[in-house]
Amino acid sequence: MFQPYIVDIHTHMYPPTYISLLRSRTTLPMVRTFPSAPEEPRLLLLESELPSLERALSSPAANTSGEPLPGRPLTKHYTDPEAKLAFMRQHGITTSVVSLANPWLDFLEDGEEAGKVAEEVNREMEEMCSKAAASQQNREGPDPLFFLAALPTTAPLEAILSLIPKLSQYAHCRGIILSTSGLGPSHSGLDDPAMLPIFHALAAAQLPIFLHPHYGLPDSVLGQNTQSKYGHVLPLAIGFPVETSIALVRMYLAGVFDTVPGLRVIIAHAGGVVPFLAGRVESCVVHDELLTKKFDNQERRTLWQVLREQVYLDAVVYSEVGLKAAVEAVGGVERVMFGTDHPFFPPVDEKYREGMEWESVRLNREAVRKTFGEGSEEERLVLGGNAVRILGLGSN
């Protein structure tokens, strides 16, 4: 049977420093328990979870309405490296490139604290990767774990810039994870010119950005109380990928990719809606008075060109239609890499959590198999070959 080398480039954890921080908080993001389930800490991350938090707090004795408790269970998969490695073994994943999960350090208003937490989190990530490598010394091929570092986006610019070159000293760091928020607490976005020195520094250090959503879409679009009516479906399936798509297009329109040609960006969730809508973006640009003046249209690289030259996509889209669009958008299978989004999307039924294949992984793995053909060179590339090449996993 075909046994490919599988690399998971979209997989998260919360290291000890970060979890203690979440446990100490009473506003989002936070870890908290509820009287109806005191033994089950819950992880609360998203704005859309707030109405259900308020309801749970106003009738604390029981969860009488049948509505699930807010957030998601904080399972050991979020915190325990052994659980990550067991999940990998269970799903035939040979190497994982782990990143801090959302909302990273965006919420830390004290920039000095953000800087310290970033250093600790990144150090803990490296320690985890090194320990895993040491425990599997005799294996062939890349180490089991690598990581994408966290940046303290609310810290002063100089502090961020001084941290970036240090990341390359970590043997297992292969890039950074970044939200769409931009610098500071004001959500100025990634098209803010203040981001440019950071993009230059990342390009110089050859550290790609893994661009990941957290903020989604406002209630005016998702509807009030989306959580109690439709659970997490709208924020996660639509809000997240649309958020990332807008961030990428803002970077493109601001000329970030031309200003920093060495910048490389991996877009979560197969590029969101960009593969489907890039043509519409292009059409809007050439019909826009402001933008045609801003770009000299003779010189302008199209969004399609930028996608093919500076952008990679993960394959976390769960369907052949989405995967085919992703491959087309970036100009070939060589720029698409498998991922799972673990530990998010566990099987809902408690009794299936241990030892069973996760439906979320099965769906993604099956989409890759069906799109490229089992045992094909394309499948081999998407499942692992591309990640080893693009992220330099073969050496450390």
**Binding stretches for ligand 5CU (CB under 6 A):** 45-46, 72, 101-102, 232, 236, 341, 344
Q: What is the DSSP letter of 342?
A: B
Task: Give dist(CA 270, CA 217) in Å, integer.
Answer: 18
How near is the Cβ of 101 to ligand 5CU at its closest, in Å?
A: 6
| Dist CA 42 CA 69 (whole Å) | 8
Q: How far is the CB of 31 from ligand 5CU (least distance, A)?
A: 13
In the bound state with ligand 5CU, the residue whose beta carbon lies nearer, of 214 and 300, is 214
Contact 100, 151 (CB under 8 A): no
- Give the residue with the Cβ less far from ligand 5CU, 103 or 185: 103
CB of 141 to ligand 5CU, least distance (A): 27
Q: Measured at CB, which residue is nearest to ligand 5CU?
A: 344
- Say whether 176 sits in a helix, a strand or coil: strand
Residue 46 or 254 with smaller CB distance to ligand 5CU: 46
Nearest residue (CB) to ligand 5CU, 44 versus 326: 44
* Strand (E) or helix (H) holding 139: none
Residue 164 or 236: which CB sits closer to ligand 5CU?
236
Q: What is the CA radius of gyration of the chain?
A: 21
Residue 381 DSSP code: I
The answer to whether 198 touches 164, Cβ cutoff 8 Å, is yes
For the CB of residue 103, give the shortest distance to ligand 5CU in the complex, in Å. Answer: 8
Handedness of CA 276, 281, 282, 287 (dihedral sign): positive
The amino acid that residue 153 corresponds to is: T
Of 11 and 154, nearer to ligand 5CU (C-beta) is 11
DSSP structure string for 33-52: EETTEEEEEEEE--GGGHHH
Cis amide prior to 103 (ω within 30 degrees):
yes
Is the Cβ of residue 4 or residue 216 nearer to ligand 5CU in the bound state?
216
Q: How far is the CB of 80 from ligand 5CU (least distance, A)?
A: 18
Q: How far is the CB of 222 from ligand 5CU (least distance, A)?
A: 13
- CB 314, min distance to ligand 5CU, A: 11
> In this structure, what DSSP letter does residue 205 have?
T
In 55-123, DSSP assigns E strands to 72-73, 95-100
Residue 123 burial (10 A CB sphere; 0-12, 13-18, 19+): middle
Give the whole-angstrom CA distance, residue 46 versus residue 29: 7
Closest approach of ligand 5CU to the CB of residue 213, in Å: 8
Q: What single letter denotes the amino acid at residue 34? A: F
By C-beta, is 176 or 236 nearer to ligand 5CU? 236
Residue among 274, 250, 246 at smallest CA distance from 191: 250
Kindly tell me which of 46 and 393 has the beta carbon lying closer to ligand 5CU.
46
Residue 97 tokens read as 């490139």
What's the closest the beta carbon of residue 232 comes to ligand 5CU, in angstroms? 6
